[in-house]
């Protein structure tokens, strides 16, 4: 079961949390309890294939609501690509999460969510169409568009900030057509997110549509992200070693998922949250005071978030105990200049090419390991460098080869609608149905 973080008496099923996205009081849903995995699970971990491992973890969050065979099928489709851990320096690994269809880690959350929705829509024969509304700072849009493209009974509407997503990101969310619409907003990601939140609270809209969100505020996107950490642990032979994960963070969903994995018993020694100049959380970790900020545009656009939604979930996991959180989490903020030098450093030293987001995670990890040299470090490489072509090529002063997948995308026609304000969004949603 899931409770609203604003009102612990508001308890809903997985299905309700999945379709509602946000609780009526605007707060996020969170599992009422997180059980440790059984001894048998840990004993068999190394022998299990990835799908079975994923099933054993995720079934705890859907319980009887999705039958075993269906959940297994959903998981198989969700993680039908690799998650390699690549050694880049001594005791330092890159966990590559970009081998999915849109070349960023968000494919996993989006595919799992669409799979679960598809299951309920078919099993319960929904009469009305579901509208998935999502704000994106770059990668969410493409992943959600791809995850839901062609799913019967679902329309997808994506809001993105004009001129603030990369060329490839924009192509990925504007060229699918069919049940996917892309709306361009003249503003920042936070404004897109605000409009999405406003729609959920609009009683008029909610009377006429089944509206749901596919942002990481949706618990169904967050939960499967735990798998990255389990898979890395399984792949690296790091038993009895202290392992640190560095996570490039924006809305803090990915980090929160790692902390959930730890809560289930995964022996993670420490977390590093690496941000860009949107340093709300690094400041919080210094002062204990949460002050949301206006968003700043950076070269790591998927992390341009001034008021990260998932941070309340993290606080909940630590029972709002600042000292306890401080023991397990270190947060650093990096400038664009530092991010570029991180890419250069690793490329010229080890010939390993980072995307800018992965670079912040790499820098954070290095910084933390200076004082903790015996620990094993894993940083999450969340996107393929090709998604940030210009930045990457400028950093290493070299052209990189463009994969076939992207060349094909460039030939397609972009389709988008410009939206100026909430009123226009509302009429779009109503006319779209
Ligand atoms: C979304 C995204 C992030 C940030 O993840 P959060 O879960 O929002 O913290 C980092 N890197 C890339 C490439 C992303 O797409």
Domain coverage including residue 293 = 80-104+222-396
Cα–Cα distance measured from residue 163 to residue 49, given in angstroms and rounded to the nearest whole number: 42
pLDDT for res 433:
63
For residue 401, tell me if it sits in a domain. Answer: no
Ligand 1 centroid–CA 216 distance in Å is: 10
Tokens of 26: 């605007």
Cα–Cα distance measured from residue 8 to residue 27, given in angstroms and rounded to the nearest whole number: 10
CATH code: domain of residue 324: 3.40.50.1100
Q: In the chain, which stretches have pLDDT less than 50?
A: none
Check if 250 has its Cβ closer than 6 Å to any atom of ligand 1.
yes
Q: Which atom of ligand 1 is nearest to the CA of 139?
A: 15
Check if 106 has its Cβ closer than 6 Å to any atom of ligand 1.
yes
Check if 362 has its Cβ closer than 6 Å to any atom of ligand 1.
no
The H-assigned helical ranges of 88-166 are 106-123, 139-148
Q: What are phi and psi of 155, to 5 degrees?
A: -105, 140
For residue 205, tell me if it sits in a domain. Answer: no
Residue to probe by mutation, ligand 1, list 99, 109, 139, 257, most atoms within 8 Å of CB: 139
State the catalytic residue, choosing from 15, 106, 262, 277.
106
164, 189 in Cβ contact below 8 A? yes
Check if 142 has its Cβ closer than 6 Å to any atom of ligand 1.
no
For residue 139, tell me if it sits in a domain. Answer: no
Ligand 1 centroid–CA 245 distance in Å is: 15
For residue 293, tell me if it sits in a domain. Answer: yes
For residue 149, tell me if it sits in a domain. Answer: no
Check if 251 has its Cβ closer than 6 Å to any atom of ligand 1.
yes
What residue has token string 């664009």? Answer: 336
Check if 382 has its Cβ closer than 6 Å to any atom of ligand 1.
yes
Q: Which atom of ligand 1 is nearest to the CA of 251?
A: 8
Residue to probe by mutation, ligand 1, list 248, 280, 333, 343, most atoms within 8 Å of CB: 248
417, 428 in Cβ contact below 8 A? yes
Q: Which atom of ligand 1 is nearest to the CA of 137?
A: 1
* Exposure letters 116-149 (e unless 16+ CB within 10 A, then b): bbbbbbeeeebeeebbbbbbbbbbbbbbbbbbbb
Check if 254 has its Cβ closer than 6 Å to any atom of ligand 1.
yes
For residue 255, tell me if it sits in a domain. Answer: yes
Check if 248 has its Cβ closer than 6 Å to any atom of ligand 1.
yes
**Cα angle: 200, vertex 9, 209; to 5 degrees:** 20
Ligand 1 centroid–CA 146 distance in Å is: 17
For residue 145, tell me if it sits in a domain. Answer: no
Instruction: Please give the model's pTM, rounded to 2 decimal places.
Output: 0.94
Catalytic, 106? Answer: yes
For residue 431, tell me if it sits in a domain. Answer: no
Query: What is the count of structural domains for the chain?
Result: 1
433, 204 in Cβ contact below 8 A? no
């Amino acid at each position: 079961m899931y409770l609203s973080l604003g009102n612990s008496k508001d308890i809903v099923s997985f299905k309700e949390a999945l379709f509602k996205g946000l609780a009526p009081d605007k707060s996020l849903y969170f599992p009422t309890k997180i059980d440790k995995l059984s001894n048998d699970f840990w004993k068999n971990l190394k022998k299990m294939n990835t799908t079975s491992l994923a099933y054993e973890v995720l079934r705890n969050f859907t319980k009887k609501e999705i039958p075993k065979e269906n959940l297994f099928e959903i998981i198989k489709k969700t993680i039908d690509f690799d998650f390699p851990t690549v050694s880049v320096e001594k005791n330092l690994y890159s966990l590559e999460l970009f081998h999915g269809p849109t070349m960023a880690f968000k494919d996993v959350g989006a595919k799992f969510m669409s799979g679960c929705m598809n299951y309920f829509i078919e099993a319960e024969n929904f009469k009305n169409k579901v509208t998935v509304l999502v704000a994106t700072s770059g990668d969410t849009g493409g992943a959600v568009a791809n995850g839901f493209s062609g799913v019967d009974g679902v329309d997808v509407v994506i809001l993105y900030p004009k001129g603030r997503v990369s060329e490839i990101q924009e192509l990925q969310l504007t060229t699918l057509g069919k049940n996917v619409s892309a709306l361009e907003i003249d503003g920042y990601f936070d404004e897109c997110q605000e409009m999405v939140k406003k729609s959920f609270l609009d009683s008029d809209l909610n009377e006429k549509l089944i509206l749901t969100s596919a942002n990481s505020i949706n618990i169904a996107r967050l939960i499967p992200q735990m798998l990255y950490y389990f898979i890395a642990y399984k792949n690296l032979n790091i038993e009895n070693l202290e392992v640190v994960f560095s996570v490039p963070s924006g809305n803090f969903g990915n980090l929160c998922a790692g902390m959930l994995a730890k809560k289930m018993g995964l022996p993670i020694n420490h977390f590093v949250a690496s941000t860009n100049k949107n340093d709300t959380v690094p400041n919080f970790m210094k002062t204990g005071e949460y002050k949301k900020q206006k968003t700043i545009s950076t070269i790591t656009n998927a992390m341009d978030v001034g008021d990260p939604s998932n941070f309340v979930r993290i606080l909940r996991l630590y029972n709002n105990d600042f000292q306890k959180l401080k023991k397990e989490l270190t947060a650093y903020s990096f400038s664009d200049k530092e991010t570029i030098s991180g890419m250069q450093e690793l490329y010229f030293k080890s010939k390993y090419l980072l995307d800018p987001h992965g670079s912040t995670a790499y820098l954070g990890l290095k910084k933390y390991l200076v004082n903790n040299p015996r620990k094993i470090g894993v940083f999450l490489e969340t996107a393929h460098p090709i998604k940030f072509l210009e930045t990457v090529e400028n950093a290493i002063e070299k052209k990189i080869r463009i994969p076939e997948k992207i060349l094909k995308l460039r030939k397609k026609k972009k389709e988008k609608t410009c939206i100026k304000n909430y009123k226009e969004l509302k009429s779009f949603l109503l006319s779209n149905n």
